[in-house]
Amino acid sequence: MSDQITASHILVGHAEASSASTGLSREDALAQIETIKSEISGGASFADQATEHSDCPSSSKGGDLGSFGPGAMVPEFDTAAFELEVGEISDVVETDFGFHLINRTS
């Protein structure tokens, strides 16, 4: 087997983020992603939350990013994704694009 993993994510961008498509402040974006994480911890579906809240085009697929290997994503995302166990959801991860929750699916 290769060193590829599969993962889904939720991205909440903010006005200071690269490729910003929202006017949310950094603080409001962080509060929003923390609320989403709380909803998921309370039993909400990760895919449903991604579809409803993610600023990434992958939201149309429930946040599914498909498979990727080390170095394919920005460093902060890459490190967090590869540290997760299958089925585990990350803490909030900040990148130049905003705030992410990552769900490693395989």
Residue 22's CATH number: 3.10.50.40
Total of domains in the chain = 1
pLDDT at residue number 64: 98
Its pTM stands at 0.94
Residue count of the chain:
106
The residue with tokens 């705030």 is 99
Q: By residue range, what is the domain housing residue 79?
A: 5-104
Provide mean pLDDT across the span 74-79.
97
Does residue 102 or residue 15 have the better pLDDT? 102
Q: Which residues of 16-25 are buried (b: 16+ CB within 10 A; e: fewer)?
A: ebeeeeeebe
Residues 21/73/51/45 CA torsion (nearest 10 deg): -140
Give the mean pLDDT of the chain: 94
Instruction: Say if residue 1's pLDDT is above 60.
Output: no
Query: Residue 42 burial (CB < 10 Å; 0-12/13-18/19+)?
Result: exposed
